[in-house]
Structure 1
Amino acid sequence: MDLDGIISTKQTVNYESKTRAIHSNTPVSFSIRVREVELRFVRDGSVLRENLLKHRTIASPVIGLEIPPCFLAGEEICRGYVAKALSKTIIPTWIQPFILPQICKDAITEEGKRSGFMVEAQVGAVKQTYINNCIDVNDYNSGGLKIPTEPDCPICLQDFGPRSIITKLRCCDYNFHRDCILMWLGRKPSCPTCRDDIRNPRPKKFTPKIFLGR
């Protein structure tokens, strides 16, 4: 997914399973456990450096799923049933399309080999979101001096010292301490000063220059 070059997402899902025989009236049962990792980065447009904004790991409880015999006759009918069953679970919607074909494959492959069996599936999912082209670090003028437009960081209200790593939001040109704005963007994707959304910035106003003749 790409939102005007600002937001890009990388998704990977790993599905591993093993089967064991069980005594059950239902030919196939699934025991699914999902471990989801969410990472969010912001990329510095000037040096293409990545800064981690958010790291969250969620491990789900064991999720049970049973497939009645009538839905094991073919792949299409199996996919329809499993898709509907997955939509009623707590498994995140972005993960479900990745594991749907694997579940159906396990069910149809093992069907008929034994009277009943359990598929124990482990799902590892990683979702990486990148916020691109929205910040610049350490802008300098032609004399090599940093050029913040404000004397203080609007977030922490501390001044921009000579060793400060100054970061500018491209959407509105406001400047902040790098650590301050990265922490802020981890909570809200907007400028803390003007509230402009970094994912969908407002067009910058153009002020024409007036030349006075002699």
Structure 2
Amino acid sequence: MGKNQTPLFSTVLIILSLSLQASADSQICRNAVCGQDEPLIRFPFRIRTLQPNPCGYPGFDLSCDPTNQTTVIELPNTGNFTIRGIDYAEQEVWLNDPDGCLPKKILSLDFSRTPFSGVYDQNFTFFNCSSDYIKYSLNPIACLCGDNFTVFATSSPRVYNSLSLSPSCRYVKSVAVPVQWPFFEQVLSSDLGDDLRLKWDTPRCGRCEFRGGRCGLKANSTDEIECTDIPRQGIPRAARYAITVGMGIPALLCLISLVCFVCSKVKSSYARRWGSFPANLPTISQQASMPEPLPNPRLVMGLNGAVIESYPKIVLGESRRLPKPNDSTCPICLLDYQAKETLRTIPECNHCFHAACIDEWLHLNASCPVCRNRPMPAP
């Protein structure tokens, strides 16, 4: 009897577990979307017809338009808006008017009963002016204008004062508009057609989104949230240890090799200069007290001044006649000789040069720059 009950009991357990699994799968909150190019919807938002109630947070219910191509949110006291974009990490959302006249919705904006507020608010004042009123080349709000009147919205105090004093204009309303970006300069007029940029502070899921987790309500709770499915960051501890050892030992060996290479270079350089490498280098304090080494004597390869002055000098006459007829250019500076210039001649080879040129040359070189013969002092 007991043996026959065991298979039956196991079958019941399997059926019960499958039923619980199916029930749990039905409660999984999956992402949803209204249209192909529409924002992806997940917690805290939810599409009422596509996601269960626990998949969203109170005040974040959305719907799809009748064509299922646009995501819509309804704000109390203001009406329906289209969702243009959502940044879950920054907790920001962009809205616009599905009817194409956002300024009309702006005139009745009221976020008091919503979880949203403006990221950047800027005050705009609406004026209703006669249709023939033209000043400052103001940009009218086309969807609010009629045949006999024109509507302007300005944030400029100068334009505000001008329109307030004009008998052709009537003050309508001042509204804090949640603009996309703060205007550091006052706007003369705007058609206010850009998306409204809003943010929400509750629930706080931004950090969870930054970490790549999934934010949602805790089980059996209506307002407490939790962050799940956070991907593991980094690598396992054992792998980190292996990488550290694998990279640390070669790096240490490379460092030791580099130090040895530098030391060998210093030693060889010291040996070339002083003949040997001392066993014990002086300390910093000892080096400070050591006298400065004398500079190496400079080797003078040219002739001394007395020898150079013993070579004959001539002042070139108007005929510029020289011992060698073809000598007309100084071989050192490559300039032609001119009358009344002082030249110097090397006796052994009779080559002539400007006196200043050959004097400087012979101070550095004890040979003729033309024939390379080493001249002797003149008798």
Regarding TM over 0.5, the answer is no
Q: Which structure shows the higher strand fraction? A: 1
User: Between Structure 1 and Structure 2, whose CA radius of gyration is higher?
Assistant: 2
Q: Which structure shows the higher helix fraction? A: 2
- TM-score (norm: length of structure 2): 0.18
RCO higher in 1 or 2 (8 Å CA, sep ≥ 6)? 1
